[in-house]
Amino acid sequence: MLHKTGTRAVESEGLTTQRWAVLGALSRPESTDGMAVGDLARYLKVSRQSLSGVVRRLEADGFVASGPNPTDGRSRRFRLTDDGRRGWHDRALPLIHGYYEEAATGLSVEDMSHALHYVLRLLDNMTTIDDKNDDR
């Protein structure tokens, strides 16, 4: 439901929830110099394979640019372009904030706090499961 309704909220900007996740990750101050696909995949908790296509399409659309990774010549770093940064901050974020505000209608601050607590606990548990599977 998040993917379906979230994508609908940002489709006017040519985005999907996957694309918004990547742009959001790359818009963080600590990502100014870009991120390698592996680091981006770990941050977003997705597979490199599913992320690669999303990043390529964002690059083709001019939202993202890639360049050599100074610490690993075999990989590339992706960063927001100036157009990508402006599109994210000026157009996408207001739509996303509006979407979340509408989705949270009727929830108190306490409700939101409890929901966040349980979602983070689930995320921790799922990360533990994923880590166990990576060790196999």
Summarised one tens digit per residue, pLDDT across range 78-89 is 999 999 999 999
Amino acid identity of residue 48, one-letter, is R
Beta strand 35-36 with 64-69 is: unpaired
Helix count (H) and strand count (E) of the chain? 7, 3
Reported as a single tens digit per residue, the pLDDT across 59-77 is 999 999 999 888 777 788 9
- pLDDT grade for 16, boundaries at 50, 70 and 90: very high
Contact 64, 84 (CB under 8 A): yes
CA torsion sign, 40 to 34 to 22 to 76? negative
Res 136 pLDDT > 70: no
Domains of the chain, residue spans: 2-105, 108-136
Give the residue among 37, 116, 107 at the shortest CA–CA distance from 77: 37
For 2-105, the fitting CATH number among 3.30.70.20, 3.40.190.170, 1.10.10.10, 3.40.190.10 is 1.10.10.10
Contact 63, 87 (CB under 8 A): yes
pTM of the model: 0.86
